[in-house]
Structures are given as structure tokens and as C-alpha cells.
Structure 1
């Protein structure tokens, strides 16, 4: 039976997971290799500014912001999207950095914040990894997400994998990816407009497909922050 959970509050235990090195997520038991899956942790927020309104596009729009400890700068001048998303990118940078600092997690470098606008009928809900490169001593890094209409699903049970050599990519089988996308694998289900964080390396996750949010609206906005973590 598939176990579906909700994110617990970000705490010092989950902070320890975020400070891990990639080697900590790869285990071999009785000759079998497994990639640990940790789900997501929720960041308590009371000041979420909400999604900008009035945006429209026929195709997916993606913008990237570089986020330092103080300043957040867009990498393009694609209006009206950049101006509309600047305030929520700044909010995410401050909120995530503060929440991580409260549990003893420090980012090692600038973060990258990606904002997107996707017509609902283009949402695919494909299971994927944000970082698949196994560099054993490297930070697992962190990703923070807020999704409109529905949050991400993040795997919570270790997944089998062929023996993994350093510098090689994680390559889950199609059956594993499809099973996860079809809710056949234990996972953490995040709510709409809920700010969550989880490790970036090796974590199988997916957003909603068009069928999941068919009646929610004509498009979905997404806010994602990625950064390496000091171990």
C-alpha cells in the first residue's frame, strides 16, 4: 500500500539532511544500491504575498533571478513578468534564508530563483531529479518550492539503483519514474502555496499534470530556489 504523507515542519533533524554530502544518500545493502529519498519539510509562513495577477502567455515563460544574501537581480528584462515576479523572488530569498538559518543551515553561495508561468494544458507532471550527478563529497544542495494550485510530490522511500560510480549520473528506470508519476510510490504531497524545502540531489519528485489541476485555472505559476549548502 502506498503511503502518502504531508511535509513536517522544517527542524534541526531535516536541517541535518540538508547539510549532507551526496555520499550520505547512496547506500549499499547486501550488494544492492539504494538512493535515499527524504520527502520535503514545510517552512512556516505568515506573510506570503500571493501570486501576481494579470499575467498571460500562450506558452511557458521562465525567468531566473540571482539571489545573494541581500540583493535579488533578474537575468533578463522580459516584461511584464520580471517586474511581476521580483517581489515574490525577494520574499522567497529572505524567507528561505531566514528559515534555514534558524535551524543552523547556511547557503554556500548565491542562490538561483526560477519563476515560471505554464498554461494548464501544458503541465506534464513528469517525475524527475533536479541534480543527478554523484560527486560523493559535494553538497546535496537544497531546493525550495512554492507552487500555485498544487505543490510538488516528493519521494519518501529509498529507491533501488544499479551500482553507482563516483561522477556517474543517477538513472532511475522508466518503470520507477512512471510509477512515481502515477502515485504508486511512497511520497510526500505538498499543498498549493505551501513553501517547502528538500535536498536537491537524487530526490525524485514531480509537479502536477494538467489532469491534476484542470479546473484550477488557465495557468500555473511556480517559484523555485536552488543553492548549495555548507556541510
Structure 2
């Protein structure tokens, strides 16, 4: 059996009723979420799903590990923010199995484009928790235009190195994801599947 490629899309702080297909209000210019509504109309709507936490980074601990997040030290501190840089305790432990690490062990190519928010290098980071490639932010939220965190630090990375790039962050992530899928398509056709996590910061603060 051919193993499927997986594109795992996460929106940040999107409420259940913010989407048209779940009863969200209609904006003056038309549907609130026409593309997502179309996917729901032609596929599957999940009506009994619940976030594992009401706040940001603990939810991400749960999504990454599929565990009750408060069993992990880093998930008890909300939010993990720029003040935790250099901390050896506030983050996702690299020895903890994650969805990307298990898929990587199963022969998948793994990448994260977008928001991490599970601890800072050198002790933590996407490359220590199963991802082979990372393009995105480490912080909980950044300015969509300057890519700086609330502390003023530039927070856009390629792997563990800071990276400067011009563009509105949602568009930058989308364009990188499209390029990544195209790059991995040939490998996938030859039998090496890929797992791409596309974790947007939108519609999370700041509202830009």
C-alpha cells in the first residue's frame, strides 16, 4: 500500500464559530471563510472536537505529543515567551516522542513551516523533535510585517538560524509551503512520503 503524504494545517486561535461552515457570521463582502466552507461541503465536518487547552503553547504540546500536556514541565508555563530563551526546562523535551518523530522513524520526510512556540534553541526546537527542516517563528506571536516578537527580537528562522525575508507572514508561509510540496513531490512519487506541518500564526495577535 502506498503511504499517503500528509499536509497538517493549523490555524492559530481560530474559534469554532469563526468559520462559515460552523455558523460564523457573514461579513459585508461575502462569506467569512469560503474556501474552508467549500472543503467542508465536499468532505467532512467535525462537530465534537475540542482543544486540549484554552491557551496556546500547552495546546501545541498536546498536538505534538498526543499526550495530556500538563504532564510536561514546559506546558505548565503559559505562555512560553521570549523571556524563556536559554531555559533548559521550558520546552518540548527532545526525548519525548512526537508525531513528526514517529513519522520520520517510519521513513517520512518531515518539515515544519510556521509557528513552533515549544521552546527555544539550543535546548529545544523543531529539529530536536522530529522535523528535518524548519522555516518559521519560535515565539508565540510576531509582527506580520517585521517578523519581530513583542520583545523586539527578530524571530524568523531557517532551522536554528535567524533569517530575514520581506513579506506578510501568512503569505510567506503559504508560498514556502507550496514550494516545499513541489520540491517533495518527485520523492513522494518514487516512494518516499512527506509530512508537512503548516502552522499559521493567523488569526492570532497581533491583528494585522
TM-score if structure 1 supplies the norm length?
0.25
Structure number with higher strand proportion: 1
Structure number with higher helix proportion: 2
Question: Looking at both structures, which has the greater relative contact order when contacts are Cα pairs under 8 Å and sequence separation is at least 6?
Answer: 1
